Chains A and B, each alone.
Chain A
Amino acid sequence: MIGLQESPEVAAAAAAPIAGGGNWTLHFLQGITPEAVPGWILPIVTASISVGVVIAMISVIAMLSVWLERKVSGHIQCRYGPMYAGGWHGWAQTIADGVKLLTKEDMVPSGADKPLFMLAPAIVLGAIFGAFVAMPLAPDYFFADINLGVFFILGMSSLTTIGVVMSGWASNSKWSLYGAMREAAQVVAYEIPLGISLMVALICAGTFNLIDASEAQRDFWGMGWFIFKNPFVIPAVVLFFVATLAETKRAPFDLPEAESELVAGFLTEYSGIRWSFFFMEEYAAMFLMSLVMAVFFFGGFESPVTYLAAESMGLGYDHLVTNLLGAVTLIVKSMMGVLLMMWIRWTLPRVRIDQVMTMGYKYLTPLALVCVLGAALWEAGKQAIL
């Protein structure tokens, strides 16, 4: 039958296993699977392993962040924070808290919309799990090589807002409703500067893919970061950071869960493990946004150390050591962002909702647009001149 004449290169590529730069788990499984197992099982097994890794990662990140937040807040406030649970500076405090929360009574307030009440934390956590899929752990280890990576991440992390609004409504409490309404207004207002300031980095990167964006910052001995490449990226980073604080409901934008005004905002009626879901989502979102910031503004996997391993020592970018160093670099950069968010939380008071909206619409959005315009002109000018 007359069909598509496949070119030999395409046919070879389809037949061969995934060439260099592919996912390590799939490679490994392909290497060890006996011939009898049909080919379609492998991606499913890879997916299950990836899901497990994501869940484990988020849990560990949340655990670590909660402990870190308590220690950071403690030291900023001239006190120690957890010191006993587990021995050294209370590292097991979060585990103890998690066990306590698991054993709490599962209360649903009377008059609350039960299905929505129970669904809300699930949506919130599910959305952030989904966003983690696009996140690469190492240059060679990823869950899904999504070409629209950062677009996907922004989209999935916005889904959490639905869960928050749902929880505010379903709690049958006026204070929760206030928190939910504030959250909806705030997130919508700050999506725009978030996306637009990220666009500045995308102009420099030329791609939505996180791994490719990270690769584009490889020059200058691993210091060819985008903030050094274009003067409009520096204000964009600041705008992106502020928009991130608003998106993740961190102080000074923590009105949805404003402790002293709204008792606990949309979280008022949640206790036990449902409450901890919301907090896992908060810390996971913080980490995720920090990671996006690290990848698109601060070099991602690239640093002088990875350059040293890959180029100077000649290991190449596929080697395990380079991958490990890249992963460590990325995690360190993300944790720096997370630490900065924590530092700001414990220093600044809360901004009022109308001031939040004013800042978002009247100041950040025009500034972000100016940055995009400037960055585009700069890149065009560079192309023209060089």
Chain B
Amino acid sequence: MDFQGIHDHLKAADVPGLLKADAPRPPNPEDKKDKGRAGDPFVEVDPVQICEFMAACRDDERLRFEILADLSAADPSADSEELWVLYQLLSITHRHRLMVKARIPKEDANINTIAGIHRGAQWHERECAEMFGITFNGHPDPRNMLLPDDWPGYPLRKDYEFPEEYHGISCV
């Protein structure tokens, strides 16, 4: 199914957590400031109900998103107050994709883990946690993935300050 079909089916099946869909649109000729949005459409989901949403996506007959292709996060800009958690779902049976976005506040960034639904999410969530400072509630193994265990700060946030030195090694 294409994105419109998936979105309609999500609404019809009353999948919990669904907020809205965001599709690309061309720039508005009247409004100079509105440059439009390019790229791929996505579905926005309420972070509180993310587990139910993912479970429904995986188990629903017409959706069947067996594979969690990617779980990442993004910091839209330095003065934004939210972080985005992005889920890329892939269905093998129906050969379609879905991008899911959940917005969480930057100050107290936490969201439930979906490691119980997709095992592959475990490692992705560890990486997001260390890079963005997001806490995944209920994660079975929240260690640092790529960074050393005592690395200060959250590197991929836009307001990250690179440290001067690390264990006596100069970083500048």
Q: Do chains A and B touch in the complex (CB under 8 A)?
A: no
